[in-house]
Each structure stands twice: as C-alpha cells, then as structure tokens.
Structure 1
Amino acid sequence: MTTHSTEQNPQTPLPDHFERTPYHLTEEQIRFFDENGYLVLRKMIPQELLQRLQEAGDTWIEDGLHAAEDDLHYRDYVFAQRTNGRVMFRVNYLHNKRQAASLELLGCPQVLAVAESLCGPNFVPTYESMVFKQEGDGEAIPWHQDAVHPRRYRLFNFDLYLDHSRADAGALRVLPGSQRLRQDICALNQAWGWNHPDVQIVEMEPGDVLLHDVMIVHGSEQVEGKDLRRTIYYEFRAAEEVLEDGPWDREWIDRRLRLMPVGLRHYHEAFPNKDQFQWNVTSEFRPRISADEEHELKVAHVVHMQSSFCSSIPEGNA
C-alpha cells in the first residue's frame, strides 16, 4: 500500500498507582490493538443494558424517520439517496434523544475502563452516534480512515454491535496494521478492490464490541440487503492529545468531560448493585459541573479532524 508518513508509536500508559479492574484491557490486548489497529471483545456488554440499548436504537430510528424539518434534532438524523430511495443510516448526538440508555452506556465500567486503558485517566468522550443499515439496505461503505493524526496518542472507537453482523451480509472488513500511516485509499482500491491479501472480515454478535484505531483502513462491500444491523460508536481521545493536535480547545474538552458525571450517575441509578467505575481524571481536567444537565447533553463539534477516503486525497498528493 502507498502510504503517507506520520509518527507511529502512540502511548498513553496508565499510572502504576491506578487500580486495574477486570474491565481494563490486559497488556496482551493492548499490544494486539497497537500492532493490528483493532481488537474484538466478545459479549462485552451486560444483557440488560444491551436490551435497553436495542430498544433505544429502535426509538432513535423511528423518531428520525418521522422528524419534521422544524424538529430540534432534525439535522442529527442523517439520510442518503440509495438506488431504492432515500434511506436513513445514522443518528448523531445520542445523549439528547430522550433515551437514558446512551448515558448508561457512557457510565458503564466495561466502556470506561477500556477508554482509560488506551487513553489514560484524562480520556474524553469525543463522539457518540449510531450507524445502521435498515433491512434491505446493502450499500457499501468504501475503504476509509476515520481521522488522520500525528499518532502521539491513541484515538479509538468503541463499536457496540446491537445486531448480528455476518460475512455474507456486509460485515466490516479491516486491514490490520494499516493504522500506522495515512494510506493512499485510491491506490488501494485500484489495486485490490475488496480483496486485499491482508483483509480480515470481522463477524460480530449482539453485545460484542470492536475497538478500532481511527486510522485503521476499514469498510464493507455492497451486498444484498439483509436484516437490520445497528452499531453504536463512542470515540475516545486523551485530553492531552486534543490540546496538542486539535481541532478543539480546552473549553470544548471541559464541556465534553461534563458528560462524564452525568453518565456515571445514570449508570448508577439504573444498575445500583453492579460494579461502578472510579473516574480518575486529574485535577487539571476535572470539569466544572453544570446544573443544566439538558444543555450539556449535546456538545456540537463544528470542526473535525480530516478523514481519508479516496476522494479526500488531493490530486498530486496521492
């Protein structure tokens, strides 16, 4: 693969004095993630929370399909024009859509211990969305890298699968090791199409989690549409990384971190007898707590890091 140079050794170690729990990643798991750019965690999410999220997913889709243009959340429901018509495929900013399950997931120790393992104690929940293919929608997701950055830190997505994802139904394809550099997606497509010799097809079950580095090349080929397939994506980055690389500032970090106490409280209220996550954010980044919870539930991005699709590499720089 033709590549574009970046720094290649992201490290955000967890301080020795922090208590590791059964929910934190092992050194072996972190090593696999760093080498390959992805890691599968089977049956990661408790069944009761998974069921609540599946029900929330149904509601988000239903709300989006019936949202009027003057609806407060109208622009958060994303549609595309397919051969069979206009199709909804994404919901952005889950936390202000009247379904507490998204906040319960944000406060879940199975999620946050992973974020702490890869990003350190000052992890920031940077994005939350649900991406899905409705029954009958088998559209391809072209090869791409989510975001390109200098790789001084780990940036990753926590992908929770709400439904089965099978090889014959457009399961995600990844190219292990491709996360180390910005890739020439156009050249990759031209040389291999979907049949790159390194490709891994990742089949998933409800409750399984895929951790993927934001620079790993991934996508899914076009297939005949199968059953509904929904995935919730939470992206995490270290606060230190955001300050160094952007594209956001300290005020934005503070606002995103204010989601954390809300998520922790919602998880505790829903599952008071389950293990709770001990948030270890340092005093430098501990956020000011707002009394207006509703206002905190959507923190818009305005700008984003550059991703890498075939069409996003300027001519002459590919």
Structure 2
Amino acid sequence: MSTLTAPLPLPEATPRSPHHLTPEQIQFFDDNGYLVLRQWIPPALLARLRAAGDAWIDAGMGAEGSDPGRDDFVFAERPGGRVMFRVNYLHNKEQPASLEMLGSPQVLGVAESMCGPNFVPTYESMVFKQEGDGEAIPWHQDAVHPRGYRIFNFDLYLDSSRAGAGALRVLPRSQARRHDVCAIATEHGWDHPDAIDVEMEPGDVLLHDVMVVHGSARTLGNALRRTIYYEFRAAEEILEDGPWDREWIDRRLRLVPLGLARHRAAFPDAEQFDWQVAPEFRPATSGDEAAELKIAHVVHMRGSYCSAGDALRALKA
C-alpha cells in the first residue's frame, strides 16, 4: 500500500509516452521507496553528461577562493587529505548537458508521473567519490515531510556502482516515517537485515523517496563514481508544506522552458516533452537567463541524520 496520505493524480493505465511510468512502477516505488530504471538515459545524452561531469570536477579543483560560485564546489577533509565530493547548482556551470537532461522526456516524463503536471525541479547537484576516496555516506533520510505528496530524487549514474565498491545501500519500505538513523547504525552497522545493495551501470537511473533510509559503506581503492541528482516536488506540496513560497516556485519553474529549449536544440530529431503545467503555475521568464540558472536555497526541509556534520554535508546547496 502507498504511504501517501493525500491523493495525487492517478497514473494512466497506459502511459502517454514511453518515458512516463506505469502504474506498476509507481506502486513499486510507493511500496518500497525506490525504483530502478535500467539504461534510461540515451547514449548520446549520457556521453555529454559524462563529459560535463569531468568538466565540473576540473572547474572545482581549479577554482580560487575569490571566484564567483566557489562555494558550489564542496570539499571534505579525509585521512589522506582534502577532496571534493559535490557540485551544487549545475545549470550555471557552463555545461549545457545539465539543462539538456532536465528538459528531456526521460526526466520530465518521470517527474510528471510522480508529482503530477505541476512538478517543480527543486535541487540539482552531482555527488561523487573520487578514485580512491571510499569514505562512507552514513545512513540518513534526505528530508522528512508529512507525506501528503511524493518527493523524490532522480539519480542518474554516470559510472558503475557495484556491491562491495561503494554501491548505495537502501532499506526498502523505510520511507513511511522518520527513523533514528544513529540507532540503526549502532545496532546494525551496515548489516541491517532489510538492507539491499543497489547496483547500477552508466545510464541507469535510481528514483528514491527522500524519506527512504539509505547510505553507502566505506570502501578502499574504489573507482570514480559520479551521480547526478535532480529532486522534484509538486508545486501544491511546496505551498502546503514549505519551506519555500510561491515566488520561489515561479523562479524554479523558469528552469523548465530553458531545459526544454536546450534539449530541443541539442536533439532536434528526438522526442520532446509536452509540458502541461497548469496556467496558474506557468512562469513568465525574466529574460535574464544567467540569473535564472541558479535559484539558491535559503532554507531546507529537515532530514534525519546521525550528526550535524552529516546534515551539513548534505545541505550545502
């Protein structure tokens, strides 16, 4: 049974495109808190995103303290030294592939299936483990909310992620409530009886509920593993639960027509997404594309983390 407490538009018995989810897929997600879509991103777009991933890492490693946007490149102190592990606000980092992906039917069809036509792209980042950096990501829940609507992350894997080499661990069916993740770690470590390893290949997509408990164990000598994360919520959910307002929704929704245009320009012969947002939410563009590409988050919905340090690393966005 779904853990949602308020109704969303029912999925169509026959999805209106190959990029929309089936009722069975949505039910699996609602029951388990995650869903894997194998080879979901077309090879040409995937190749552009892999190149963009390299460029984002290079930009972060070369950024100076006074450079605009320097704080979007997030570093951590490891036993072996300082390493970068995250890039926030991808769309203004001079790599059009991130907007091409956002405007693709493979992304927006899923967003519409899960959130209804008034979906809002709320976050965009790339999180990665550099070669040899096998630091753990502790058990956590991304954001805890009243569960009247689906809030989910669209996770595109740019590299292989295998069991024993840093693959994501998930506790299926854990998304229905807030958990004490410290207690989970203390009692079970990484060997919770319900835990599964989600193995992924380049081009695979993991959809995960922001309340499903997940993390990844420490490994040694792992290869580079990069994942692009886009979070989506319904505009109705944001207005009901916060933490943002109507103006912020409007500003974030301006990313959608930019993405649609970039996808159409890059792949004119590919299928394009038919955006059916309600008139009251359709944004009026400002004409200042540079300003529209980065809409910052002043506040965040609280998640469940074992320490303030874990939360800070997750919320530096």
TM-score, shorter chain, exceeding 0.5: yes
Greater Cα shift, 289-298 or 153-162: 289-298
Any residues of structure 2 matched to 1:58-207 within 5 Å, and which? 58-207=54-203
Give the Å deviation of 1:193. Answer: 0.8
Give the Å deviation of 1:14. Answer: 4.9
Could you tell me how far apart the structure 1 residues matched to 2:159 and 2:11 are?
36
Any residues of structure 2 matched to 1:264-283 within 5 Å, and which? 264-283=260-279
In the alignment, is the contact (CA less than 8 A) between 1:40 and 1:211 conserved in 2? yes
Give the Å deviation of 1:10. Answer: 5.4
In the alignment, is the contact (CA less than 8 A) between 2:169 and 2:197 conserved in 1? yes
Is residue 241 from structure 1 mapped to residue 233 from structure 2 by the alignment? no
- Which residue, 204, 209, 226 being the options, matches 1:208? 204
Could you tell me how far apart the structure 2 residues matched to 1:19 and 1:292 are?
36
CA offset digits 1:54-83 (Å, max 9, x no partner): 000000000000100111110000000000
In the alignment, is the contact (CA less than 8 A) between 2:4 and 2:149 conserved in 1? no
Is residue 258 from structure 1 mapped to residue 243 from structure 2 by the alignment? no
TM-score normalized by structure 2? 0.94
Could you tell me how far apart the structure 1 residues matched to 2:36 and 2:11 are?
25
Q: Which runs of 5+ in 2 are unaligned?
A: 309-317
Q: 1:19 to 1:208 in 2, by over 3 A?
A: closer
Runs of 4+ in structure 1 over 3 Å off: 7-11, 14-19
In the alignment, is the contact (CA less than 8 A) between 2:153 and 2:231 conserved in 1? yes
Q: 1:16 to 1:46 in 2, by over 3 A?
A: closer
Give the Å deviation of 1:243. Answer: 0.4
Q: 1:42 to 1:18 in 2, by over 3 A?
A: closer
In the alignment, is the contact (CA less than 8 A) between 2:12 and 2:23 conserved in 1? no
Is residue 57 from structure 1 mapped to residue 57 from structure 2 by the alignment? no
Could you tell me how far apart the structure 2 residues matched to 1:158 and 1:11 are?
22
Could you tell me how far apart the structure 2 residues matched to 1:159 and 1:42 are?
12
Any residues of structure 2 matched to 1:6-21 within 5 Å, and which? 8-9=4-5, 11-14=7-10, 20-21=16-17
Q: 1:10 to 1:32 in 2, by over 3 A?
A: farther
Q: 1:204 to 1:123 in 2, by over 3 A?
A: same
CA offset digits 1:168-201 (Å, max 9, x no partner): 2110000000001101112111111100110010
Identify the residue that residue 307 of structure 1 maps to in structure 2: 303
Could you tell me how far apart the structure 1 residues matched to 2:227 and 2:135 are?
15
CA offset digits 1:232-251 (Å, max 9, x no partner): 00000000000000000000
Question: What letter corresponds to residue 104 of structure 2 in structure 1?
Answer: C
Could you tell me how far apart the structure 2 residues matched to 1:43 and 1:10 are?
32
In the alignment, is the contact (CA less than 8 A) between 1:11 and 1:154 conserved in 2? no
Question: Kindly, what percent of the aligned residue pairs are identical?
Answer: 69
TM-score normalized by structure 1? 0.94
CA offset digits 1:89-138 (Å, max 9, x no partner): 00000000000000000000010000000000000000000000000000
Is residue 296 from structure 1 mapped to residue 292 from structure 2 by the alignment? yes
Give the Å deviation of 1:8. Answer: 4.3
Q: 1:188 to 1:220 in 2, by over 3 A?
A: same
